[in-house]
Amino acid sequence: MAVRDDPPFSPSLLLPTRFHANACILCAKVSNMCIVREGKLIINRVEMDTKFDFNLIQQIMHSEPEDCPYKEGFAYVNVLMFTDKPLPIIIPYLYQKEKANKLSEWLFINAEGIRVRQRVSF
């Protein structure tokens, strides 16, 4: 409930102004996502419709998992990937919840079929 003295809501209040002037994004379609099992290891596999070289990724982070209200037993996270450039890549990732899946093993495949394995250390 708004208090009378509250200023009107403005999305510009959420981010510093410099983000609005200098923001860059990479738009790419996620073509497919699934998990791949190699013995006890679970690899989170993401195919994207981009020519981006996933070898350039230096850091991967993800949001806290949230239950997917549309698919029982599945969870959703935002995956953030960083290179040496000030251009983070953010992708959605929906996966079947399992205790063994720590979201630490990743396989990214670009539109040219180039496969890149990444490991997240906690």
pLDDT score, position 60: 95
Residue carrying structure tokens 């399992």: 98
CB 85 within 8 A of CB 94: no
- Radius of gyration, CA atoms only, the chain: 18
pLDDT score, position 26: 64
Instruction: Per residue of the chain (122 residues), give pLDDT as tens.
Output: 333 444 443 333 333 334 444 566 666 789 999 999 999 999 999 999 999 999 999 999 999 999 999 999 999 999 999 999 888 889 999 999 999 999 999 999 999 999 999 999 86
Q: How far apart are CA 68 and CA 66, in angstroms?
A: 6
pLDDT score, position 12: 37
pLDDT score, position 76: 95
Q: Is this prediction's pTM over 0.85?
A: no
Instruction: Calculate ∠ Cα 111-82-12, nearest 5°.
Output: 105
DSSP reduced 3-state for 21: helix
pLDDT score, position 24: 64
pLDDT score, position 112: 96
- DSSP codes, 40-107: TEEEEEEEEES---GGG--EEEEPPPEE-TTSTTEEEEEEEEE-SSS--EEEEEEEE--TT--S-EEE
